[in-house]
Chain A
Amino acid sequence: MIQFILRRLLVTIPVLFGIIFITFALARIIPGDPCRAVLGERATDAVCDDFIARYGLDEPMPTQFVIYLGQLAQGDLGESIKYSRPVTALLVERLPTTIELTLLALTFAILVGVPLGLISAVRRNSAADVGTMVFANVGVSMPVFVLGLLLAYVFAIVFKDTPLALPPSGRLGSGVTVVPLAAVWGLQDLQGVPRGILDFLSGIYLFSALITGQWAAWADAFRHMILPAIALGTIPLAIIARITRSSLLEVLGHDYVRTARAKGLRENTVILRHGARNALLPIVTVIGLQLGLLLSGAVLTETVFNLTGAGRTMFDAITGRDYVVIQGLTLVIAVIYVTVNLVVDILYGVLDPRVRLQ
């Protein structure tokens, strides 16, 4: 088991190195004067000389790469031109929104997608099955931003002044705040990395409001996240439903399922205990892969719903050609994606002994 985990870790190292290399290379293929491309046309020569010296842009490429690695090792992702702040600081402030959104979307996708898939497989060719599969087909085909805009229109305009009305933008209603953990726990004097971690956790409102018992704020934050989470979660939901269906159909054809039925077990027991338990294994892998879709989709969803997360920051950076932010975010999100998939791989090995023996 430990050998399996170590092997997986070792395979990940070159991939991480490759990711860093690609982000480095992308920064170097921007056409024209690199300093003025990043800092803007009006940058003075003095500012540019300073910039070139800082990133070693007059050095040979390999040296530049070493400088870049050194900066990354110190947690330096460069500085945003638009905000005049380090990208790391922006991330601590904004990544929590994205994490909250993606986790909620993923939860929605699993909680709805898995049962839908199971029902479709059990009631194969029934109206429920056909309906689910039509929904799944349309669901994977609709762009996240179109669905998001449609949801915003329906729940904010059509259902306006009804109990179904939901806020179409922002994270909290006006006047509502979530008191940060540092303030609740009287840790305002805390500095440095521990404070950063605490602020980061505070930014995940659904988590920080929950553990500090700020119920009204929690409910408000949740209401604001419903539409974005549905918009973002629908494509993964459709994919999960389809995989669950085909996976359960395959498992139900196995001999041991026939044996279970022959033993006279109740149909529910056969499907849930013998069928679903094995059918859900492949879904673990799928969920890891969906994270890529979710993180990409977060850029679109946060833009549609005006959520100031990492995705929205990406959008602003694209609009303002804030190259340093784009590269920093791409790198960090890719690393998160790889890490989650590593964890999923290992988890899969824990759940299915056949995998780790390969």
Chain B
Amino acid sequence: MECGFVRQHFHDLISDEIDDEHRERIYEHLNSCDSCRTHVENALAFRSRMQELMQASAPPGLVASIMQLSEKG
């Protein structure tokens, strides 16, 4: 029953778009369900790796041209 509740709210939990009451109920279940806990931990870890690896730096030429645009007003 509780595994279904985790599944239902899984993506909102990963996105941190879940209310406190639901979060509490899910984390209580994760304490006793290895399968759901692994699932949630993997998803959170993957999201964090993706965030880290997908960062970009604007190339210097682009930064310079944007600064010029800004100075022109």
Do A and B interact with each other, yes or no?
no
Residues of A within 8 A of B (CB): none
Residues of B within 8 A of A (CB): none
